[in-house]
Amino acid sequence: EYLWDHRNESLRAWLAHAHSTGSTSIGHPDIDGIFIDDQWSSPGGPGEEDMHAVEDMGLSVADVMAITGNWTLTMKAVHQAALDGGGFAWRLFSPGSNTKGSDPIGGQAGCARALRARCVHNDTLQ
């Protein structure tokens, strides 16, 4: 598996404006959303890798903190680009969530309830 170093601002721009919203994603007329389940946390590192990933990559605590902070900026940029392109990103239902086998909104009833609660003027999730 390959991991990106989110401290790279040109990577952030590419992920937001080409990879996630280009013609093979939200920019395609048959695609209206994206699903991103990767995650970075500090001090844990990449969520989809084994517990030795940080050590195996030779990352320091400062590296992991910087990558995690920049990963958050990347996700915000990707989410905004998706919305600007008329699309949607799964994580917008539950910011900061990951898949981990759970349903963050509780099925159809939970989805309807969550959307009704969020579809109000000045909601912070929008």
Query: Exposed, middle or buried: residue 41 (CB in 10 Å: 0-12, 13-18, 19+)?
Result: middle
Query: How far, in Å, CA of 67 to CA of 43, rounded?
Result: 10
Residue 34 in contact with residue 26, Cβ under 8 Å?
yes
Q: Is pTM beyond 0.75 here?
A: no
Helix (H, G, I), strand (E, B) or coil at 45: strand
List Cβ neighbours of 86 (8 Å cut-off, separation of 6 or more): 26, 32
**95, amino acid identity:** P
Q: What is the pLDDT of residues 101-123, one digit of tens each?
A: 445 556 677 778 877 877 888 77
Q: What is the pLDDT of residues 31-90, one digit of tens each?
A: 989 988 788 888 888 888 888 999 999 999 999 999 999 998 998 899 889 988 888 888
